[in-house]
Chain A
Amino acid sequence: MLSRMASSLYWIGRYVERAEQTARLTEVTFSHTLAMGSTPEAEARRGRHWAALLEIVGAGSTFPAADWPDETNVPEHLIFSRENPNSIVECIAVARDNARTMRHQVATEMWEALNRFHLEVEHESHVAHLTAEAETATRFCRSVIDFSQLLHGITNSTMPREEGWYFLQVGKFLERAESTARTLDVNYRLLAGDDKGLGDDRTALPTPDDVQPWASLLHSLSAYESYHRLQRRGIQPYAVIEMLTLSAVLPRSIRFSIAQLDAALAHITEQAPGYNGSEPMPGSSTESEARREVGKLHADFAYQRLDELLEGGVHRALVGIQRSCYRIGDCIEEEFFAHRPLTAWQAMA
């Protein structure tokens, strides 16, 4: 497959997942903070949650520094802002542009779903300045989640299980692993305190009186009901952390995402360079570095226990995962998509 096409599918996977994740987190932050009341102390707590959300979705630098983050400005920034390259409208626009570069290769249904939702969102972004209202914002977030699910459904039932499909999966699950790690990391520091998470965390968290924040965290990852069913007990912070990192069955856990990523990359690298009428690029390596990185991370997670994770510090572990994800992303770019011109010596080789 043409490298640029593979790259487009990978980025469609990433951006749609990113939009969905932002929608989920915004929705949950709304419902979580609304119940806090309006005392000055509660205002401050609310602000901390909105600020945390900005950090999770990586919008801290684009959010106007002069504003005190709260429900009147953060959702607007995360959903509609053109200044924020990761806002939902921007994510959908980029995904749609990517689909447009390869509309001749994706199923018509998939292209049309993306194009229509993009047109809807663009329309919405012109008429809706009232996103400060929780109802509008949550309804919008819900429609983004629904759209993402719809798109997964369409791709699932229309795309041939070939390279293109696996690149889409790689993008989706790499984004998800990274995003779950960041969500958990930021929330952990918010709930346990900033000084925690660097050393031995086995006793860092007392069972809090208020489990609501942990419940919200589970909600945001669609894991609340699964938690109860799988854990068969009330909400306990350590159990939540275990679920979201090490569960092999929960679709948004880090381990699950990495397993999917590993499987998709395995399919992609099954064929060696030279497959399908191609020849290896001059100077290219035959070993896949991306595959090696993912495999390492996967093995790590498949055999890890919670107490080991806690021993090293939750924050440290989660940061480590995020770093691995960046590295994997770089390797994938380099190996499969790189548009670097050939250097003179490569051309002569």
Chain B
Amino acid sequence: MGRAMSPQPLRLGLFVLEVEVKRTIREDDGVDQRLAGVLRHGYSLDGFFDEAFEMGPQGVVPRKHYVQLLDQVAAMDVLELRQAKELANRSFLHRGVTFTVRSADEPDTERILPFDPIPRIVPVDEWAVIEAGLRQRLRALNQFVHDVYHGQEILREGVVPRRQVVLGRHFRREVVGIDVAHDQYIHVAGCDLIRDGQGRWLVLEDNLRTPSGVSYVLANRQIMMRTFPDWFADLSVRPVDSYAGRLLDNLVGLSPRRAVPGVANGPAVVVLTPGIYNSAYFEHAFLAQQMGIDLVEGRDLFVLENRVYMRTTYGRRQVDVIYRRVDDEFLDSLAFRSDSLLGVAGLLGAVRTGNVTLANAIGTGIADDKVLYHYVPEIIRYYLGEEPILPNVPTYLPSDPEQLEYVLANLDSLVVKAANESGGYGMLMGPVAEEREIESFRQAIIANPRGYIAQPVVPLSRHPTFIADEIGVSGELEGRHVDLRPYALSGPDGITVLAGGLTRVALRKGSLVVNSSQGGGSKDTWVLQ
């Protein structure tokens, strides 16, 4: 038995939060503590840049574009919110929206990416900058990859040192001189963006090989619209569901064989997956389903006279475009790793003769090498004659003797990353690392300076996140560090950036590591119109 009372200010620690919160009061015994909302104990910034709150003259207040949402969230019954969150997570499990976690001493387990119901909002003006910045970056990087595998102008002019490129683990000399459709290499990109202590957007890394996570963007949005339809009511949130259609259009546009009017069987486009044991398998299946195309494994394909075919119950069928989610090294056991069972023997020959197009093209990994990342601002200036819109995080290269000295002297305050790892593996967090760990990285860096980079620790921005209490009845909002991975598609008609992206959140208190393999979760991301 409750009834809505008139709005009243909510006590927020020492400060008074000027949000109008609709509280439900019980008539018999006064205020029901449980119903006092997820902000009943206030919200503290702890000196970080927060996405949703800022310090006003009288204390912590929500940022303008969050007022409406936080009103709704705070007005909700905590238990209800908690149950909604659990329901959403269970629904992910039942639908199999999972990824595989691998560890040496345990069998592989399928886990969901923990979902936090409080969405992240990006206002339209900020988004415009992000979008322009990503387009600029990808245009330049695409030209860079083309150049590296053709004329190598940029290397000859010394803008990027040749050795940094040819020593990169993802440099593929096998594709030097091979032309690809529309000179396009990076069809799908997922660059990681972060915000520093002042709220400036920075590019943390470029994922230009087989970036994953977009399926969670779509799945998160679906579940949000189903679970909290009211929250969307008065905000105009840009939709994300055009992604699959756009990707399909781009892929079909890459086909070497044109669709013939009147002939039903147009170009065959497929998604190539390493199989159900791959950690991103759900995504591969999801995208294939959304696009209505076949999901194939290497063993479903074979190459004959430089053409790729798939095995069907009625014989073979020629394949024109492969959206591959298999890494370069495993694509063709004749050209790359001979022990790979995931690829198709002879595929590189089919690529070379232009009978099949791969997305992304072979060799894009050289542009998301963490050492090359350091040169991206120069790369943008070189090809486009423009200043970078989105800055990099300052990066030290131990392969430069002077910088090596600096890095070694400051290991306890830097983040060190292996140049060719991803997923948060091979990383040293100097300020929280143990002496032993720092020592082992020191030795590793000295032994292989090209293999590492170092960056200052960026105090990632935080976002209010629903943290359930341990006894299972309540919960409240606390700040947790987040990043953002927007997805960009490049096609014959230019670059489209999906309005939204995957906001990853480090659920462990104080943690700066958002990777799903390291205890990260995700949030829906709303770009406003």
* A interface residues (Cβ-Cβ under 8 A, vs B): 1-6, 97, 100-105, 108, 111-112, 115-116, 119, 163, 268, 271-282, 284, 336, 339, 341-342, 347
Contact = CB atoms under 8 A, between A and B. Distances in A.
B439 interface: no
Among A163, A268, A281, the one with the most B-chain Cβ atoms within 10 Å of its Cβ is: A281
Interface in B266-298: 268, 275-276, 281, 285-286, 288-289, 294-297
Task: For the complex of A and B, list the 7 residue pairs with the smallest distance between their C-beta atoms, beginning with the closest.
Answer: A104-B289, A277-B265, A273-B315, A278-B315, A278-B317, A104-B288, A275-B314
A268 B398 CA distance: 62
Contact of B312 (A1, A116, A268, A342): A1
A2 B304 contact: no
B300 A103 contact: no
Contacts of B296: 2, 4
Given A273-B314, A278-B314, A347-B304, A102 B295 contact: yes
Contact of A101 (B276, B289, B316): B276
Given A2-B310, A112-B95, A115-B94, A284 B315 contact: yes
B316 A6 contact: no
Contacts of A275: 314
B285 A104 contact: yes
Given A281-B316, A284-B315, A100 B285 contact: yes
A2 B312 contact: yes
B58 interface: no
Given A100-B96, A101-B276, A103-B285, A279 B315 contact: yes
A281 B315 contact: yes
Contact of A339 (B264, B299, B315): B299
A51 B268 CA distance: 53
Among A2, A97, A282, the one with the most B-chain Cβ atoms within 10 Å of its Cβ is: A2
A213 B381 CA distance: 86
Give the interface size class of chain B.
Answer: 20 to 34
B313 interface: yes
A279 B313 contact: no
B302 interface: yes
Given A3-B313, A100-B96, A284-B315, 17 more contacts: A2-B294, A2-B296, A2-B313, A3-B311, A4-B311, A5-B294, A97-B276, A104-B285, A104-B288, A108-B95, A119-B94, A274-B314, A274-B315, A277-B265, A280-B316, A281-B315, A339-B311
A100 B315 contact: no
B221 to A, nearest CB: 17
Interface of B: 93-96, 264-265, 268, 275-276, 281, 285-286, 288-289, 294-297, 299-300, 302, 304, 310-317
A278 B275 contact: no
A276 B311 contact: no
Contacts of A276: 265, 312, 314, 317
A6 B296 CA distance: 12
28 contacts: A1-B312, A3-B311, A4-B299, A4-B311, A100-B281, A100-B285, A101-B276, A102-B295, A103-B96, A104-B289, A112-B95, A115-B95, A115-B96, A119-B94, A163-B313, A268-B313, A271-B314, A272-B314, A275-B314, A276-B265, A278-B314, A278-B315, A278-B316, A278-B317, A279-B317, A281-B315, A339-B311, A342-B302
Contacts of B285: 100, 102-104
A147 B105 CA distance: 34
Contacts of B95: 108, 111-112, 115
B313 A6 contact: yes
B508 to A, nearest CB: 26
Nearest to A6: B313
Nearest to B91: A112
**Contact residues of B: prevailing secondary structure:** mixed
A323 to B, nearest CB: 25
A6 B300 CA distance: 12
Among B275, B286, B304, the one with the most A-chain Cβ atoms within 10 Å of its Cβ is: B304
A197 B520 CA distance: 65
Contacts of A101: 275-276
Contacts of B264: 277
B315 A280 contact: yes
A297 B5 CA distance: 78
Contacts of A347: 304
Contact of A278 (B93, B94, B312): B312
Contacts of A102: 285, 295
Nearest to B265: A277
Nearest to A111: B96
Contacts of A342: 302, 304
A50 B281 CA distance: 41
A2 B312 CA distance: 4
B111 to A, nearest CB: 13
Contacts of A272: 314
B404 to A, nearest CB: 47
A237 to B, nearest CB: 43
Contact of A103 (B289, B313, B314): B289
Contacts of A112: 94-96
Given A4-B297, A341-B302, A105 B314 contact: no
B276 A2 contact: no
Contacts of A281: 311, 315-316
B304 A116 contact: no
A111 B310 CA distance: 25
Contacts of A108: 95
A116 B315 contact: no
A2 B311 contact: yes
B104 to A, nearest CB: 21
A281 B302 CA distance: 11
A289 B314 CA distance: 14
A185 to B, nearest CB: 32
Contacts of B268: 277
A4 B449 CA distance: 45
A273 B268 CA distance: 18
Nearest to A108: B95
Contacts of B295: 102, 104-105
Nearest to B264: A277
A41 B287 CA distance: 62
Among A115, A274, A277, A341, the one with the most B-chain Cβ atoms within 10 Å of its Cβ is: A277
Nearest to A272: B314
A119 B314 contact: no
B87 to A, nearest CB: 14
A119 B93 contact: yes
A3 B297 CA distance: 11
B276 A100 contact: yes
Nearest to A96: B96
Contacts of A341: 302
A278 B299 CA distance: 17
A268 B312 CA distance: 12
B300 A4 contact: yes
Nearest to B281: A100
A102 B289 CA distance: 9
Nearest to B304: A347
Nearest to B317: A278
